[in-house]
């Protein structure tokens, strides 16, 4: 996203913003540099790091909660710079044949996306492992990389005219499959934390689909809207893969719940409305597939009505202080934090608004709360023990090494927060890749 114009004497405009892989940190780029924030508290927004050495930053990505950060500037849009920000040293830099459009990271791979090619690096030594050439024109740099390095799948558009997804295995460096996801071109892609599910949306933005990985079978289909087309700007799973959030250039954020309804519900008493409901459901069997599909698609479980419309934003679903939260960062430099009711859904409650363009001091943001305290009904809802996941296990991503396919991770691994890398040994300065030529990589 291009930097917005700023008035004389005004704070630097937000030119880019991104959450790290487990949504515990927020990175923003400005015309003067970049900043990193911790997302461990609702009331307090702690600035972890600020750098003004590189101006006009338009890509900044942090690897989990480690000291590794990747930065790209408008001054050198073909060069990727990798830093150890705690030491203030550069690990390496790498130049490419055209403008860098996006960068994705996990603990094993670093992916650089250009308009018509993709480069895959080994993140331990930054060695270039593979170059995928002649990809369909991808002007936005759309791609997604699984954060679970045991399943380092990479997804990117397989066509410029249709919604075909190309799935690539970043570990074996081989094509996994292609998924005919949508009729129109793709606009958004997102893996869940284990790399077992992939969500997608097309440029129309009306339907969101979720597929199994690596098989590519359709698991869920959600309808964001029917009347107007929108530009999906953010698509993200919760870390436990129970929820999927989608935001766009409109004022509404949609949260969908990933659950399959069963027919084991008790029989409802015979009523006129119940009879008509069954008749309506039976009628869908005789309608065209496209029409019956529109009738059976699941609607949003929860929503948020933003105060702004038309601004780019990104969302995250995270657990902060033991409660589920929705985070929304907007291009005007604000972070909005909402409570999400995991049982009843409905309209999410705004509980905090942080300004990201303040003085930059590592202290509590003094922005006033915009909403009254959370209603008692919500507190009562989250206190229900019968529907809370077992304290012994829950599916998800383990910071200790990544969940294997189908592995169940003990919950205590989540409670302590992300495990920082041993930065001294993991990421020493690398001289060999500086100014390297990506053309020497293996070609598809």
**Distance of alpha carbon 91 from the chain centroid:** 26
- Residue, of 284 and 193, whose pLDDT is higher: 193
Q: Which residue has the higher pLDDT, 374 or 190?
A: 190
Q: Residues of 310-320 as b/e, b for ≥16 C-beta within 10 angstroms?
A: eebbbbbbbbb
Q: Are 428 and 421 in contact (CB under 8 A)?
A: no
Write the DSSP string, 154-171. EEEES-SSSEEEEEEETT
Q: DSSP H helical segments within 297-372, as ranges? A: none
pLDDT at 417: 33
Name the most confidently modeled range: 270-279, 306-315, 357-366.
306-315
Identify any residues that bridge with 164 across adjacent strands, giving them in sequence order. Answer: 180
Longest dimension (CA), the chain: 75
Parallel, antiparallel or unpaired: strands 144-145 and 163-169: unpaired
The residue-averaged pLDDT of 331-338 equals: 95
Structure letter (DSSP) for residue 291: H
Q: What confidence category does residue 310 fall into, taking pLDDT thresholds of 50, 70 and 90?
A: confident
- Number of other CB atoms surrounding residue 53 within 10 Å: 14
Q: Which of 394, 405, 406 is nearest to 149 (CA)?
A: 405
- Hey, CA dihedral for 386, 392, 396, 397, is it positive or negative? positive
% of the chain beyond a pLDDT of 70: 68
pLDDT tens profile 94-141? 999 999 999 999 999 999 999 999 999 999 999 999 999 999 999 999
pTM: 0.76
Q: pLDDT band for 205, please (50, 70, 90 cuts).
A: confident
Contact 349, 281 (CB under 8 A): no
Dig out the tokens for 352 from the structure.
């905090």
pLDDT score for 276: 47
- What mean pLDDT value characterizes the chain? 78
Residue 272 clears pLDDT 60, i.e. is over it: no
Percentage of the chain modeled with pLDDT above 90: 62
| pLDDT band (50, 70, 90) for residue 282 | low
Residue 429: what pLDDT?
A: 53
61 close to 111: Cβ distance less than 8 angstroms = no
Q: Is the pLDDT score of 342 beyond 60? A: yes
Residue 436 has pLDDT above 80, yes or no: no
Q: Is pLDDT at 234 greater than 70 in this prediction?
A: yes
pLDDT at 4: 35
Q: How confident is the model over 1-12, as pLDDT tens digits?
A: 333 333 334 444
In this prediction, residue 114 carries a pLDDT of 98
What average pLDDT does the segment 187-202 reach?
A: 97
Looking at residue 426, its pLDDT comes to 56
Range in 24-28, 54-58, 247-251 with the lowest mean pLDDT: 247-251
Phi, psi of 335 (to 5 degrees): -115, 115
CA nearest neighbour of 397 among 267, 238, 265 = 238
The pLDDT tens digits of the residues spanning 59-81 come to 999 999 999 999 999 999 999 99
Sign for the CA dihedral angle at 355, 358, 362, 364 comes to negative
Contact 191, 169 (CB under 8 A): no
For 247-258, what is the mean pLDDT?
92
Average confidence (pLDDT) over 28-35? 95
Looking at residue 358, its pLDDT comes to 75
pLDDT band at 289 (very low <50, low <70, confident <90, very high): very low
Least Cα distance to 340 among 280, 253, 434, 268 occurs for: 253
- Assign 213 a pLDDT band (cuts: 50, 70, 90): very high
The residue-averaged pLDDT of 183-200 equals: 97
């Amino acid at each position: 996203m291009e930097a917005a114009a700023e008035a004389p004497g005004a704070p630097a405009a937000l030119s880019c913003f991104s959450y790290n892989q487990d949504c515990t940190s927020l990175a923003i780029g400005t015309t003067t540099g970049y900043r990193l924030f911790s997302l461990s508290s609702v009331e307090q927004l702690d600035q972890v790091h600020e750098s003004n050495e590189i101006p006009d930053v338009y890509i900044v990505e942090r690897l989990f909660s480690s000291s590794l950060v990747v930065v790209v500037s408008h001054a050198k849009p073909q060069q990727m710079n990798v830093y150890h920000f705690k030491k203030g040293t550069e690990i390496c830099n790498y130049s490419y044949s055209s403008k860098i459009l996006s960068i994705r990271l996990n603990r094993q791979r670093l992916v650089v996306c250009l308009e018509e090619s993709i480069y895959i690096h080994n993140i331990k030594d930054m060695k270039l492992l593979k170059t995928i050439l002649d990809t369909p024109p991808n002007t936005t740099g759309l791609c997604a990389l699984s954060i679970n390095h045991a399943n380092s799948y990479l997804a990117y558009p397989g066509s410029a005219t249709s919604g075909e997804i190309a799935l690539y295995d970043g570990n074996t460096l081989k094509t996994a499959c292609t998924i005919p996801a949508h009729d129109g071109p793709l606009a958004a892609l997102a893996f869940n934390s284990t790399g077992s599910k992939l969500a997608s949306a097309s440029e129309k933005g009306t339907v969101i689909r979720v597929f199994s990985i690596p098989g590519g079978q359709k698991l869920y289909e959600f309808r964001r809207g029917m009347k107007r087309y929108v530009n999906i700007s953010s698509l993200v799973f919760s870390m436990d893969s129970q929820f999927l959030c989608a935001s766009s250039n409109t004022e509404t954020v949609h949260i969908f719940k990933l659950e399959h309804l069963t027919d084991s519900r008790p029989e409802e008493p015979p009523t006129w409305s119940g009879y008509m409901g069954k008749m309506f459901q039976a009628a869908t069997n005789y309608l065209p597939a496209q029409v019956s599909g529109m009738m059976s698609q699941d609607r949003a479980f929860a929503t948020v009505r933003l105060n702004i419309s038309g601004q780019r934003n990104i969302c995250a679903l995270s657990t902060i202080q033991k409660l589920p939260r929705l985070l929304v960062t907007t291009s005007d430099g604000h972070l909005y934090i909402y409570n999400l009711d995991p049982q009843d859904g409905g309209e999410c409650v705004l509980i905090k608004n942080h300004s990201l363009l303040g003085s930059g001091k590592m202290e509590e943001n003094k922005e006033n709360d915009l909403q009254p305290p959370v209603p008692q009904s919500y507190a009562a809802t989250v206190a229900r023990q019968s529907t809370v996941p077992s304290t012994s296990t829950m599916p998800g991503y383990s910071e200790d090494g990544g969940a294997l396919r189908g592995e169940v991770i003990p919950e205590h691994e989540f409670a302590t927060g992300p495990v920082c890398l041993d930065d001294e040994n993991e990421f020493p300065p690398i001289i060999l890749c500086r100014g390297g030529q990506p053309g020497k990589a293996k070609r598809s």
